[in-house]
Amino acid sequence: MAFEFTDNNFQETALSGGVSVVDFWAEWCGPCRLVGPIIDDLAAEYEGKATIGKVDVDANPELSMKYGVRSIPTILFIKDGEVVDKHVGSTTKAALMAKLEAQL
């Protein structure tokens, strides 16, 4: 299961070093529901190698504003505290794996 990032835990989890994949999503978003299971799969497959999780944009507006998230799903790839890649919209598992592998 994917990690649940929040306004309160983001600094110490996603930005603490290493690689993080952050999916900005909302319950009411159709494309987000398609990407969600992919994020869950990646979280299981890359456990111990990367922190992979989701941010509910409705419950965590500060993070959405900080990272300029205007469309969802938006997936950020963070390495050592810096955003190094980004994907907006629906995508495939293979595409996300390729971006993730490039950062590991």
Helix (H, G, I), strand (E, B) or coil at 51: strand
Model confidence band, residue 97 (pLDDT cutoffs 50, 70, 90): very high
What per-residue confidence (pLDDT) applies to 1?
Answer: 82
Model confidence band, residue 16 (pLDDT cutoffs 50, 70, 90): confident
Task: Please list the active-site residues.
Answer: 29, 32
- Side-chain half-sphere exposure of 91, counting CA atoms within 13 A: 19
Structure tokens at 28: 């009411």
**For 10-35, what is the mean pLDDT?**
95
Predicted TM-score (pTM) of this structure: 0.95
- Domain annotation for the chain: domains and CATH numbers: 3-95 (3.40.30.10)
Average pLDDT of the residues of the chain: 96
What per-residue confidence (pLDDT) applies to 80?
Answer: 95
